């Protein structure tokens, strides 16, 4: 028997500790137990989770740049690039607005803040001063100007995703016009991309440790008893996020001709890592690679997925809608239907301007409340204690939403291999 035949018949070796998703799940359970029974020790584990996220973020700038450039350059036709980008942006705007409406309707039906009777004048605004200060600089003009980096290198040094995407789009269009002459550079960038994916694969080995440390810190720092006053809002946010995934994203997947449940099972490792680290950035590269393996054309993934992280944050949109009205209900701030429509319109703008900002949900919410001059900005203090826990469903829904968006756009462009997808989902 020759070596080639033997390699075909020999099944791949199974990981010694089981599949990664199982390792991450065990890490989460152990982290919860550590946080409950040894809270002081648990809080000291935070650097482990932070270190994992920093390692992942270290790879994002070159990965995003290379995927966008290679994707556009391989398309070649600028009309095709514009068509794909236009479809993606239209999808992002429609679905993210649906998410905002979903959150606003849910919080008006459930009334999680009713009966809290918080006096806004007695709240300490100093603890959210950093978020409020950042929110003051999120006007439309500032947002648009911030997309343009000071220098080419500055975007990569600061890790600003919007700026990196802008540079990559311009560079990709420039290479596309050179066609054959640019092929060697495109191949180099493609090789760089594969190398960076290899780095991510190495870093993902640490995901179970990061999951353990992240959950241990969350439970140990905030505990369960201290969160009881806000348990209702937190539970309802998780519930509304779940319903949005099942009803809205599930409906979109059904309409587009693929099963959401199959996709969720396929991305279970990335979803668990996102749950444990409260960061969607931690799984951007692995999800992009998996979507390519699933049958989405590489250029589509390279354009749509990074842009989706910026413009299609469905989970964050749900949180913003619910958070704004929750603060109004908790502080007995009366809002008319017109006020809520204005909130929706403002959120449609501010929710697109938080990419690359630490504490993006808080910053965006602060910007919205400051623009309204109706709901007290100091009310953000009420949500500060559950910020990390409410960030989990936001991040998870963001990952799922961007993945669904990429497949939908790929199907629109006839750039999705359905047979390959079915084989991959069957484990073949």
What's the pLDDT band for 9 if we cut at 50, 70, 90? very low
Domain spans, the chain: 14-425
Q: What is the distance between the alpha carbons of residues 71 and 85, in angstroms, rounded to a whole number? A: 12
Q: What is the pLDDT of residues 258-269, one digit of tens each?
A: 889 999 999 988
Tell me whether residue 37 is exposed, middle or buried, using C-beta atoms within 10 angstroms of its C-beta: 0 to 12, 13 to 18, 19 or more: exposed
Pick the closest to residue 319 from 251, 391, 416 (CA basis). 391
Q: Transcribe 40-76 into DSSP letters.
A: HHHHTTHHHHHHHHHHHHHHHHHHHHHHHHHHHHHH-
**Percent of the chain's residues with pLDDT above 70:** 78
pLDDT of 136 above 80: no
Residue 156 has a pLDDT of 82
pLDDT of 405 above 90: yes
Give the mean pLDDT of 307-321. 83
Residue 170 has a pLDDT of 84
Pick 123 or 67 by higher pLDDT. 67
Pick 352 or 66 by higher pLDDT. 66
Q: What is the distance between the alpha carbons of residues 386 and 233, in angstroms, rounded to a whole number? A: 9
**Chain mean position to CA 332:** 32
Strands (E), 307-372: none
Residue 67 has a pLDDT of 76
Q: What is the distance between the alpha carbons of residues 2 and 8, in angstroms, rounded to a whole number? A: 10
Residue 308 has a pLDDT of 81
> Under DSSP, is residue 271 helix (H, G, I), strand (E, B) or coil?
helix
Pick the closest to residue 160 from 60, 269, 38 (CA basis). 60
Q: Which CATH superfamily is domain 14-425 in?
A: Sodium:dicarboxylate symporter (1.10.3860.10)
What's the pLDDT band for 46 if we cut at 50, 70, 90? confident
pTM over 0.85: no
Q: Which residues of 141-159 are buried (b: 16+ CB within 10 A; e: fewer)?
A: eebeebeebeeeeebbeee
Those residues whose C-beta lies under 8 Å from the C-beta of residue 336, and which sit 6 or more positions away, are: none
* Distance between first and last Cα of the chain: 24
Residue 240 has a pLDDT of 92
Q: What is the distance between the alpha carbons of residues 176 and 213, in angstroms, rounded to a whole number? A: 45
Q: What is the 3-state secondary structure (H, E, C) of 112-156?
A: CCCCCCCCHHHCCHHHHHHHHHHHCCCCHHHHHHHCCCCCHHHHH
Residue 187 has a pLDDT of 83
Q: What is the 3-state secondary structure (H, E, C) of 285-347?
A: HHHHHHHHHHCECHHHHHHHHHHHHHHCCHHHHHHHHHHHHHHHHHCCCCCCHHHHHHHHHHH
Longest dimension (CA), the chain: 81
Q: What is the mean pLDDT of the chain?
A: 78
Q: What is the distance between the alpha carbons of residues 138 and 349, in angstroms, rounded to a whole number? A: 10
Pick 143 or 257 by higher pLDDT. 257
Residue 127 has a pLDDT of 47
Residue 155 has a pLDDT of 81
E strand or H helix that includes residue 297: none
Residue 301, sorted as left (phi over 0), alpha (psi -120 to 50) or beta, turns out to be alpha
Q: What is the distance between the alpha carbons of residues 217 and 400, in angstroms, rounded to a whole number? A: 25
Give the mean pLDDT of 265-286. 84
Q: Are 84 and 304 in contact (CB under 8 A)?
A: yes
Tell me whether residue 327 is exposed, middle or buried, using C-beta atoms within 10 angstroms of its C-beta: 0 to 12, 13 to 18, 19 or more: buried
Residue 241 has a pLDDT of 92
Residue 117, sorted as left (phi over 0), alpha (psi -120 to 50) or beta, turns out to be left
What's the pLDDT band for 372 if we cut at 50, 70, 90? low
Q: What is the pLDDT of residues 155-198, one digit of tens each?
A: 888 777 778 878 888 888 788 777 677 778 888 888 887 888 78
Lowest mean pLDDT among 135-144, 288-297, 391-400: 135-144
Most confident by average pLDDT, 42-51, 77-86, 90-99: 90-99
Measured between alpha carbons, how far is residue 243 from residues 240, 255, 257, 315 in Å? 5, 17, 20, 11
What's the pLDDT band for 357 if we cut at 50, 70, 90? very low
Pick the closest to residue 210 from 368, 24, 421 (CA basis). 24
What's the pLDDT band for 245 if we cut at 50, 70, 90? very high
- HSE-CB at 2 with a 13 A cutoff on CA atoms is 2
Q: Are 408 and 292 in contact (CB under 8 A)?
A: no
- Residue 158: both structure tokens together: 């600061």
Q: Which residue has the tokens 């996709």?
A: 263
- HSE-CB at 192 with a 13 A cutoff on CA atoms is 18
Q: Are 209 and 25 in contact (CB under 8 A)?
A: no
- HSE-CB at 131 with a 13 A cutoff on CA atoms is 25
């Amino acid at each position: 028997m020759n070596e080639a035949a033997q390699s075909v018949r020999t099944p791949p070796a199974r990981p010694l500790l089981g599949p990664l998703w199982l390792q991450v799940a065990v890490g989460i359970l152990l982290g919860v137990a550590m946080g409950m029974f040894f809270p002081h020790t648990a809080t000291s584990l935070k650097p482990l989770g932070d270190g994992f996220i920093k390692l992942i973020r270290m790879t994002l700038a070159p990965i995003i740049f290379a995927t966008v450039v290679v994707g556009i350059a391989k398309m070649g036709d600028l009309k095709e690039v514009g068509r794909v980008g236009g479809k993606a942006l239209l999808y992002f705007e429609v679905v993210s607005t649906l998410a905002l409406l979903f959150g606003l309707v849910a919080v008006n039906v459930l009334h999680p803040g009713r009966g809290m009777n918080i006096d806004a004048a007695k709240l300490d605004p100093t603890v959210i001063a950093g978020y409020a200060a950042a929110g003051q600089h999120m006007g439309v003009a500032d947002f648009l100007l911030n997309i343009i980096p000071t220098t080419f290198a500055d975007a990569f040094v600061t890790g600003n995703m919007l700026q990196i995407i802008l540079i990559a789009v311009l560079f990709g269009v420039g290479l596309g016009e050179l066609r054959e002459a640019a092929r060697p550079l495109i191949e180099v960038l493609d090789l760089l991309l594969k190398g960076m994916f290899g780095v991510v694969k190495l870093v993902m080995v640490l995901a179970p440790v990061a999951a353990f440390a992240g959950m241990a810190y969350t439970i140990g720092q905030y505990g369960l008893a201290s969160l009881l006053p806000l348990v209702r809002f937190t539970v309802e946010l998780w519930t509304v996020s779940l319903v949005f995934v099942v009803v809205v994203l599930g409906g979109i997947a059904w309409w587009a001709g693929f099963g959401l449940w199959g996709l969720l099972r396929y991305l279970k490792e990335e979803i668990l890592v996102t749950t444990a680290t409260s960061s969607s950035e931690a799984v951007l590269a692995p999800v992009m690679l998996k979507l390519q393996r699933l049958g989405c054309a590489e250029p589509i993934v390279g354009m749509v997925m990074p842009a989706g992280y910026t413009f299609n944050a469905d989970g964050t949109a749900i949180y913003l809608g619910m958070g704004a009205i929750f603060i109004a209900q908790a502080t007995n701030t009366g809002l008319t239907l017109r006020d809520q429509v204005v909130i929706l319109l403002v959120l449609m703008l501010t929710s697109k301007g938080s990419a690359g900002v630490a504490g993006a949900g808080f910053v965006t919410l602060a910007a919205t409340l400051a623009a309204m001059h109706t709901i007290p900005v100091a009310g953000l203090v009420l949500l500060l204690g559950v910020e990390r826990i409410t960030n989990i469903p936001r991040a998870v829904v963001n990952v799922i939403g961007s993945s669904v968006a990429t497949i939908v756009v790929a199907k629109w462009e006839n750039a999705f291999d359905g047979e390959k997808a079915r084989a991959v989902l069957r484990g073949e």
